[in-house]
C-alpha cells in the first residue's frame, strides 16, 4: 500500500495553486517558498530509491578499488613495471618488499565483489505482512559504507606502492646501484626524472612520506596503510588529490 499510494491516492491542486508551479511561487505556503527542489512521491517511508542508489554507488566505488589494485600489481610485477625491481625491493628472496600489501588490496577487492550483491533486490515481509515489500535501503547503505572504506584502504595501499616506485625511478636515475631510500627535497627538485613529475604528484608523494617512510627492508605495513588512510581520507585531515 505504501508504494501504491503514489497512484492510489493522488494529490490534486486547483490550477495555479500547485506548490510546484514556479509561476505561482508568491502564492506558495511559507514552507515551500524559495525551494523548488521539493518532491512528494506519496510513497511515504518506502526507501527503494535510496536502496537502488546505494547499491549502484557501491558497484561504482568497487570498480575504483578494482582498478587501483591492478595498478598496484603493475608496479610490483617485474615483467610489467618497466625496469623496476620485482616487489620494489633490492633484495628479492630476502625481503618481500610490498608484495603482501598487494595481497591485502586483492583481498579487499574480492570482499567488495561479495558486498556488491544488490540489497535492493531482496525483500522479506514484516509487520504481519502489512509491510509486504521491504526496500532493504538501510542494508544497502551499510554495505556501501563498507565498500567505500575498503576502497579507501586499497587506494591508501596504492599511494604507498606508488611512492616506493617513485623512490626507485628517481633513485635509479641518480645511482642505479645504490639501495633505495626516501628522496630528499633537493632530489625532488633537481633530478631529471623528478623534474618530469607533475608538481601535484610531488606534493602527494611528500604527503605520503610524512606518514610512511620508504620500505628498505621488510616490516609490518599495517600502520603505514592506516596512517596514509588517515592523512587522505579521515575527516579533518583529508589531503586533496
CATH code of the domain containing 193: 1.20.200.10
- Are residues 36 and 68 part of one domain? no
Q: What is the pLDDT, as a whole number, of residue 162?
A: 95
- Are residues 90 and 6 part of one domain? no
Q: How confident is the model at residue 140 (pLDDT cuts 50, 70, 90)?
A: very high
Q: Which of 34-48, 149-163, 215-229 has the lowest mean pLDDT?
A: 34-48
CA distances for 58 relative to 47, 106, 144, 223, angstroms: 17, 17, 5, 26
Flag whether 62 is in a domain: yes
Q: How confident is the model at residue 123 (pLDDT cuts 50, 70, 90)?
A: confident
Q: How confident is the model at residue 127 (pLDDT cuts 50, 70, 90)?
A: confident
Average pLDDT over the chain, rounded to whole?
Answer: 81
| Stronger pLDDT, 63 or 178, i.e. the higher one | 63
Flag whether 203 is in a domain: yes
- Are residues 200 and 94 part of one domain? yes
- Are residues 93 and 182 part of one domain? yes
Cβ atoms within 10 A of the Cβ of 196, count?
11
Q: What predicted TM-score, i.e. pTM, was given to this entire model?
A: 0.76
- Are residues 223 and 177 part of one domain? yes
| Stronger pLDDT, 7 or 230, i.e. the higher one | 230
Report pLDDT digits (tens) over 59-108: 999 999 999 999 999 999 989 888 888 999 887 778 899 999 999 999 99
- Are residues 175 and 99 part of one domain? yes
Flag whether 224 is in a domain: yes
Does the pLDDT at position 215 exceed 80? yes
Does the pLDDT at position 134 exceed 90? no
- Are residues 102 and 4 part of one domain? no
- Are residues 7 and 66 part of one domain? no
Does the pLDDT at position 170 exceed 60? yes
**Structural domains counted in the chain:** 2
Q: Are 164 and 214 in contact (CB under 8 A)?
A: yes
Cβ neighbors of 42 (< 8 A, separation 6 or more) are 5, 6, 9, 10, 11
Does the pLDDT at position 198 exceed 90? no
Q: Are 43 and 3 in contact (CB under 8 A)?
A: yes
Flag whether 121 is in a domain: no
- Are residues 90 and 60 part of one domain? yes
C-alpha cell belonging to residue 189: 627538485
Domain holding 215, by residue range, is 56-116+145-233
What phi and psi values does residue 22 have, to the nearest 5 degrees? Answer: -65, -20
Q: How many Cα atoms occupy the beta-carbon half-sphere of 235 within 13 Å?
A: 0
Does the pLDDT at position 221 exceed 60? yes
Q: What is the pLDDT, as a whole number, of residue 212?
A: 94
Flag whether 111 is in a domain: yes
Flag whether 95 is in a domain: yes
Q: What is the pLDDT, as a whole number, of residue 125?
A: 83
Flag whether 190 is in a domain: yes
Does the pLDDT at position 171 exceed 80? no
- Are residues 91 and 39 part of one domain? no
- Are residues 64 and 25 part of one domain? no
- Are residues 87 and 19 part of one domain? no
Flag whether 132 is in a domain: no
Q: What is the pLDDT, as a whole number, of residue 100?
A: 95
Amino acid at each position: 500500500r505504501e508504494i501504491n499510494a503514489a497512484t492510489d491516492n493522488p494529490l490534486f491542486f486547483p490550477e495555479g495553486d500547485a506548490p510546484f508551479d514556479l509561476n505561482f511561487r508568491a502564492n506558495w505556503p511559507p514552507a515551500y517558498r524559495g525551494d523548488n527542489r521539493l518532491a512528494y512521491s506519496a510513497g511515504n517511508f518506502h526507501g527503494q530509491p535510496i536502496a537502488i542508489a546505494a547499491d549502484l554507488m557501491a558497484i561504482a566505488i568497487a570498480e575504483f578499488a578494482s582498478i587501483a589494485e591492478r595498478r598496484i600489481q603493475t608496479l610490483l610485477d617485474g615483467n610489467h613495471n618497466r625496469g623496476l625491481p620485482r616487489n620494489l625491493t633490492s633484495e628479492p628472496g630476502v625481503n618481500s618488499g610490498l608484495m603482501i600489501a598487494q595481497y591485502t588490496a586483492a583481498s579487499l577487492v574480492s570482499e567488495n565483489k561479495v558486498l556488491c550483491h544488490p540489497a535492493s533486490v531482496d525483500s522479506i515481509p514484516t509487520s504481519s505482512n502489512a509491510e509486504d515489500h521491504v526496500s532493504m535501503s538501510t542494508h544497502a547503505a551499510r554495505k556501501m559504507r563498507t565498500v567505500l572504506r575498503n576502497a579507501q584502504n586499497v587506494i591508501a595501499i596504492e599511494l604507498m606502492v606508488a611512492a616506493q616506485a617513485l623512490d626507485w625511478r628517481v633513485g635509479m636515475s641518480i645511482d642505479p646501484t645504490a639501495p633505495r631510500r626516501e628522496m630528499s627535497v633537493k632530489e625532488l627538485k633537481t633530478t631529471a626524472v623528478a623534474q618530469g613529475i607533475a608538481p601535484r604528484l610531488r606534493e602527494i608523494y611528500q604527503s605520503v612520506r610524512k606518514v610512511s617512510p620508504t620500505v628498505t627492508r621488510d616490516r609490518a605495513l599495517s600502520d603505514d596503510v592506516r596512517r596514509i588512510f588517515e592523512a587522505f581520507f579521515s575527516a579533518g585531515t583529508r589531503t586533496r588529490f
